[in-house]
């Protein structure tokens, strides 16, 4: 990778600022002041110093995507668009992958990172990271359903879903639909859809709002993403 591109991606300044820094002899590669931003660097072994200070070339990237409908939560696919296709080349770094999956038609918060350790911790069943969704479902949600969700749902095939918190947001009697908020601590395949299906209801739309302490930035349009702030990264790492 070009050293100027690397440094601007790593937030040391814009490309033109980096150019100035190079002119001012502030950038060193393997002990030599560089004169040209086009110099290539090898992230696995080169030593880069900015203003005499060694910088870490290992880059961890944490992105918050407002996943739109119609893309799959995978890194590549031979026929369908994936969430990685929504990421610009400057953020599309090696090993970037979604943390868990949302169904193709589910929208909302999806974290992408190349920090495998954090991804693993957020997904580990014993960590019980709470995920909260808004759903539009067919039928009228009532207190008895809230109670059933609270006690955990068991499917006919024996699959067990842990207790979930269901709240009614609004009821539309004319359309026979309900808007609800649902919080679950697992991430089983089609979990929310299967929980409602077991109660003769269909999930019409599903949108994730939060994962642990990370909330979807509601200024992100569907398909848009941003890097997490260092504060958000710390919150995720420390409290989950």
Residue placing its CB nearer to ligand URA in the complex, 9 or 183: 183
Stretch that binds ligand URA, among 82-90, 165-173, 190-198, 222-230 (CB under 6 A): 190-198
Could you say which of 46, 85, 91, 103 is catalytic? Answer: 103
- Respond yes or no: is residue 85 known to be catalytic: no
Residue 109, token pair as written in the block = 């918060």
Size of the site for ligand URA (CB under 6 A): 8
Report CA dihedral (233, 237, 239, 240) to the nearest 10 degrees: 90
Identify which range of 8-16, 36-44, 101-109, 169-177 contacts ligand URA by CB under 6 A. 101-109
Binding window for ligand URA (CB under 6 A); candidates: 27-35, 51-59, 147-155, 185-193: 185-193
In 2-120, DSSP assigns E strands to: 27-29, 32-33, 48-50, 53-55, 62-67, 97-98, 107-113
Identify each DSSP E strand in the chain by its residue range. 27-29, 32-33, 48-50, 53-55, 62-67, 97-98, 107-113, 131-138, 153-154, 160-161, 165-172, 177-184, 203-211, 214-215, 225-227
- Based on the shown chain and the rule CB under 6 A, indicate whether residue 132 belongs to the binding site for ligand URA: no
Q: Does 192 bind ligand URA (CB under 6 A)?
A: yes
Tell me which of 193, 201, 207, 228 binds ligand URA, using CB under 6 A.
193
Supply the minimum distance, in Å, between the C-beta of residue 125 and ligand URA. Answer: 15
Of 79, 63, 60, 59, residue with least CA distance to 71: 79
Q: Closest Cα partner for 186 from 115, 100, 117, 105?
A: 100
Q: Does 103 bind ligand URA (CB under 6 A)?
A: yes
102 is a site residue for ligand URA (CB under 6 A) = yes
- Cβ at position 206, least distance to ligand URA in Å: 6
Tell me the C-alpha distance between 171 and 148, whole Å. Answer: 19
CB of 149 to ligand URA, least distance (A): 13
Q: Is 186 in the site for ligand URA (CB under 6 A)?
A: no
Task: Give yes or no for a contact between 22 and 34, defined as CB atoms under 8 angstroms apart.
Answer: yes
- CB of 60 within 8 A of CB of 114? yes
CA distance 49 to 66: 36
- Choose which of 66, 106, 107, 132 interacts with ligand URA (CB under 6 A): 106
* 129 belongs to the binding site for ligand URA (CB under 6 A): no
Residue 106 vs 177, nearer CB to ligand URA: 106
Could you list the active site residues?
Answer: 103
Interface residue list for ligand URA (CB under 6 A) = 102-103, 106, 190-193, 206
């Amino acid at each position: 990778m070009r050293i100027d591109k690397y440094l601007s991606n790593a937030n040391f300044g814009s490309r033109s600022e980096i150019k100035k820094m190079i002119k001012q002899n502030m950038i060193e590669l393997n002990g030599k002041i560089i004169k040209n931003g086009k110099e290539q660097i090898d992230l696995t072994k080169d030593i880069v110093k900015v203003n005499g200070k060694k910088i870490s070339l290992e880059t961890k990237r944490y992105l918050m995507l407002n996943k739109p409908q119609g893309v799959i939560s995978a890194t590549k696919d031979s026929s369908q668009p994936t969430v990685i296709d929504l990421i610009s080349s400057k953020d599309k770094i090696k090993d970037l992958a979604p943390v868990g999956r949302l169904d193709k038609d589910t929208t909302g918060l999806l974290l992408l990172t190349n920090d495998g350790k954090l991804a693993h911790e957020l997904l580990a069943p014993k960590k019980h990271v709470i995920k909260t969704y808004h759903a539009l479902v067919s039928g009228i949600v009532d207190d008895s359903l809230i109670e059933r969700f609270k006690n955990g749902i068991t499917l006919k095939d024996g699959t067990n879903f842990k207790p979930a918190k269901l709240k009614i947001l609004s009821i539309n009697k004319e359309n026979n639909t309900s808007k609800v908020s649902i919080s679950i601590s697992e991430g089983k395949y089609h979990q929310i859809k299967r929980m409602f299906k077991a109660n003769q209801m269909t999930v019409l739309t599903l949108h994730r709002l939060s994962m642990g302490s990370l909330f979807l930035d509601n200024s992100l349009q569907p398909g848009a993403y941003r890097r997490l702030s260092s504060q958000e990264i710390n919150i995720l790492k420390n409290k989950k």
